[in-house]
Amino acid sequence: MPHQFIWLIFLLPLFSFIIIGFFVRPFVRAESKLAGYITILSIGGSLALSVWALFAVMAAPHHEIPVPDVTWAVIEDGVTIHLGLIMDSLTAVMLIVVTVVSLMVQIYSQGYMQGDPGYHRYYAWMSLFTASMIGLVMADNLLFLFVFWEMVGLCSYLLIGFWFHKPSAADAAKKAFIVTRLGDFGFLAGILLLYLNTGTFDIYELHELAIAGALAGTTLTWAAIGIFAGAVGKSAQFPLHVWLPDAMEGPTPVSALIHAATMVAAGVFLVARMFPLFEHSTEALTTVAIIGGITAIFAASMGLVMNDIKRVLAYSTISQLGYMMLGLGAGGVAIGIWHLFNHAFFKALLFLGAGSVNHATGTFDMRLMGGLRKYMPWTYLTFVIASLSISGIWPLSGFWSKDEILINTFAHQPVLFYLAMITVFMTAFYMFRAVFMTFGGEYRGGEPSAHGHEGHHGQPHESPRVMTIPLMILAALSILSGLWNVTGHFGAFMGHGETHGFFTGLFHPFTQPLPWISLILAGSGILLAYAMYRKSWISPERIGSMFKPLYTLFYRKYWFDELYENIIVRNALLKGLFAGFEQFDNHVVDGAVNGVAGGAIVSGRAIRHAQTGQLQLYGLFIGIGILAIIFVIYFFG
């Protein structure tokens, strides 16, 4: 196939958005499922082309194929901006992630969003969301990358706030947009700094300049940290993590997409895409690793105590994104992206599983669930597979990528390594806490008024095929996706490490001490969850009251929301500084204007008395004036 076809990967979902937004939504009746089919078809097309592109890239020299570009604008004489696409190993892998997860989510949504009054709108935004993310991973210059970056942010704003009549959804959407924009500010500043010093937005040119050392020193460090600030916002890293847990206000399939393949993955991708810049600045790379390591354990600690299943998953995402950043910072592109790749499938599966559970019970509160394994065998089975995978149990996918991160962290960032190890234990614990609370024991009744569906008061039931089949496919991927690198092929493809035999690779971890330790930690996390939430050998309440301060700290999310929303935004800024400005504007700036006006009237009244009409008096004034001028000239002239 000619390389022009690569454009279609991006354009198909974009066309889908345009068709749904401008033709289907206004003219097709609300019950029609046409919008969903158009979206599925177009993203399916993108997936097929992405698979083809992946193989083409694998076969190509230097794992890179050229894509024809178009000239978009001429900034200055000689400086043109091309709208071009990159097709290298990083992009190829990201495309697989985005299109596979998006396709699964779109199919699942046909069931989940059935009968929602905003059905067409939903698929229009979903198409645009996918198109923007594809554009982001393919953009060959920072300007367009930033454009798609913002479009991804817009789409998540629209989808998180999809049920905008709920104040909590509108709040969450706004929060997501503004918090990520705070990071975008850094990203934009980084772009400006790079442009100032290099005169280019082109990503490959920037790579070469960094590698050649033309771009170095503090400039490079600041630019890289600026770019990383953007990634911190998008990938919900500490301290801009606060938007992601609230972002579950959107429909659950949206959360699956946001948490797995689009939006939050963009930040990790950005660091990977600009990696040569980070690589040549030790400070920047260390910053990435430290923020990643802190975020991993910090978010996991909050995941331990949440009762809302989506919140547990949200904190788990933040934590896993921290792992990816740590992998990038300590190991490199291949390590970080490898975890992103595996994580995408099991995290999408977990969210879709949570959605399926919600479909049956009408709630996300795990305290109201329980016993669902009997009623929803497929959801249960797939959810457990994903939980084992994320906990890092051999030979599921999560094991392989987490193992790589731990090995590299141990080698390069020993302090962070211990944090990462504790996080392994926490991850296994909170995931299986969720599994046992949701699926174990007896059913605790669910939400009395559920999900808008009537007649839910009886027993929960398994979700329809259109929802469970994507779960099964994703479960298969959660088991198998890790095998790509058992032979070292993924790493080699991404330019890291060498390949070896399959069975050597498969059992290699058992010859090392480190995988044993992490497996034991994960296993004991699962066991502890089993003991506490399945068998009640240990009472969670007693543990909670034993570590009351710690429990409160985690449960109240370290008071970050209070700090940001109440203390900084509401009091320090809105009621403090901004109110002061407003008062200043009304009374001082405008007061001066009105004062001058009033003063003019008053002085006019006073000076009026000088206008007597007597020539003698005027003559006197003229004389005084002349004397004054002579005086001035004499002394100053």
Partner 1 sequence: MLGSGYLTTILFLPAVGAVLVAFVLSNRDRVIKWTAALFTFVPLALSLILFALFDRSPEAAGLIQFQERALWIAPINAYYHLGVDGLSLPLMVLTAFLGFLAVLISWKIHLRVREYFAWLLLLETSILGVFLSLDLLLFFIMWEIEVIPMYFLINIWGAGRKEYSAIKYVVYTLFGSAFMLAGILSLYFSTGSLNMVEIGQRGLGLVQSIMPAAPIFWLLLIGFAVKLPVFPFHTWLPDAHTDAPTAVSVMLAGVLIKMGGYGMIRLCVTMFPPVAQQYAVILVILAIIGVLYGAAVTMRQTDFKRLIAYSSISHMGYVLLGIFALGKVSLVGAALQMFSHGLVTGLLFAMVGLVMHNAHERDLRKLGGLARQVPIITVVFSIAGLASLGLPSTSGFAAEFLVFVGSFSSSLVPGIQVYTILGVFGVVVTAGYILWMLQRVFYGPPLEQYDGTADADVLERVYMFAFVAVIMLVGIYPAIITDIIKLGISPIAGMLGG
What residues make contact with partner 1 under the rule CB under 8 A? Answer: 72-77, 143, 146-148, 150-151, 154, 157, 161, 164-167, 169-171, 173-174, 177-178, 181-182, 184-185, 188-189, 192-193, 195-196, 199, 573-574, 577-579, 581-582, 585, 589-590, 592-593, 597
**Residues facing residue 308 across a β-bridge:** 365
Identity of the residue, 158 or 300, whose beta carbon is nearer to partner 1 in the bound complex: 158
Residue 408's Cα: distance from chain center in Å?
24
* CB 569 to partner 1: min, Å: 8
Q: How many CB atoms lie within 10 A of CB 543?
A: 12
The three-state DSSP-derived secondary structure of 544-603 is: HHHCHHHHHHHHCHHHHHHHHHHHHHHHHHHHHHHHHHHHHHHHHHHHHHHHHHHHHHHH
Q: How many CB atoms lie within 10 A of CB 613?
A: 6
* CB 30 to partner 1: min, Å: 13
Could you give the C-alpha distances from 398 to 334, 342, 344, 484, in angstroms and in order? 15, 6, 10, 12
Residue among 472, 454, 361, 467 nearest 111 (CA): 467
Identity of the residue, 132 or 237, whose beta carbon is nearer to partner 1 in the bound complex: 132
Indicate the Cα dihedral angle 173, 179, 180, 181, nearest 10°: 100
Identity of the residue, 83 or 476, whose beta carbon is nearer to partner 1 in the bound complex: 83
541, exposed or middle or buried, with CB in 10 Å at 0-12, 13-18, 19+? exposed
User: What sign for the dihedral angle of Cα 283, 141, 127, 167?
Assistant: positive
* CB 619 to partner 1: min, Å: 29
Show the CA angle centred on residue 357, arms to residues 352 and 361, nearest 5°. 150
Tokens for 252?
């659950």
* CB 566 to partner 1: min, Å: 15
Q: Tokens 């050229």 correspond to what residue?
A: 66
Identity of the residue, 139 or 519, whose beta carbon is nearer to partner 1 in the bound complex: 139
Identity of the residue, 124 or 352, whose beta carbon is nearer to partner 1 in the bound complex: 124
* CB 173 to partner 1: min, Å: 8
* CB 118 to partner 1: min, Å: 11
Identity of the residue, 160 or 388, whose beta carbon is nearer to partner 1 in the bound complex: 160
Identity of the residue, 228 or 341, whose beta carbon is nearer to partner 1 in the bound complex: 228
Q: How many CB atoms lie within 10 A of CB 92?
A: 26
Identity of the residue, 194 or 344, whose beta carbon is nearer to partner 1 in the bound complex: 194
* CB 73 to partner 1: min, Å: 4
Identity of the residue, 76 or 498, whose beta carbon is nearer to partner 1 in the bound complex: 76
Q: What is the DSSP letter of 368?
A: G
* Per-residue buried b or exposed e for 577-605, using 16+ beta carbons within 10 Å of the residue's own CB: eeeeeeeeeeeeeeeeeeeeeeeeeeeee
* CB 197 to partner 1: min, Å: 9
Identity of the residue, 147 or 553, whose beta carbon is nearer to partner 1 in the bound complex: 147
Tokens for 275?
């990696």
One-letter amino acid for residue 403 of the chain: D
* CB 303 to partner 1: min, Å: 28
* CB 76 to partner 1: min, Å: 7
